Amino acid sequence: MISSEDILRLFLPSWLFDFFELEKFTQDSFRIDVYLSEKKVMPQDSSDALISHGFTDYSIVQDFPVKGKAVYLHLRRRKWLNKDTAEILSQKFDIHYEGTRLTKEFVAFLKESN
């Protein structure tokens, strides 16, 4: 049986599921909302002093429409607490095109079609 995540993988940026897990998705006649949370994988350049410390608020980025419906990605990144310094860190992801709330792939497509 094909899961919701398998179907979404066909439409969303392929690298997204390397770093994020599907929480849920909703749809109505105008839009599809996909909620994703960062996986619990320590940042690469981190020390052993980091512990998971909850999540950031959701960031919303618009992606390619599907069957005439707007697609919105609701992404929340994991926060990490450095036990030694009490600093809170989050990984940065290069998802949206600077100055917009659109995915880079969607902007590239729009520029190409003009």
- Show the tokens assigned to 5: 């995540």
Confidence at residue 58, expressed as pLDDT on a 0 to 100 scale? 93
Q: Are strands 50-55 and 59-66 parallel, antiparallel or unpaired?
A: unpaired
Q: For the chain, which residues make up each domain, given as ranges?
A: 4-113
Residue pLDDT, tens place only, 60-78: 988 888 889 999 999 999 9
pTM of the model: 0.81
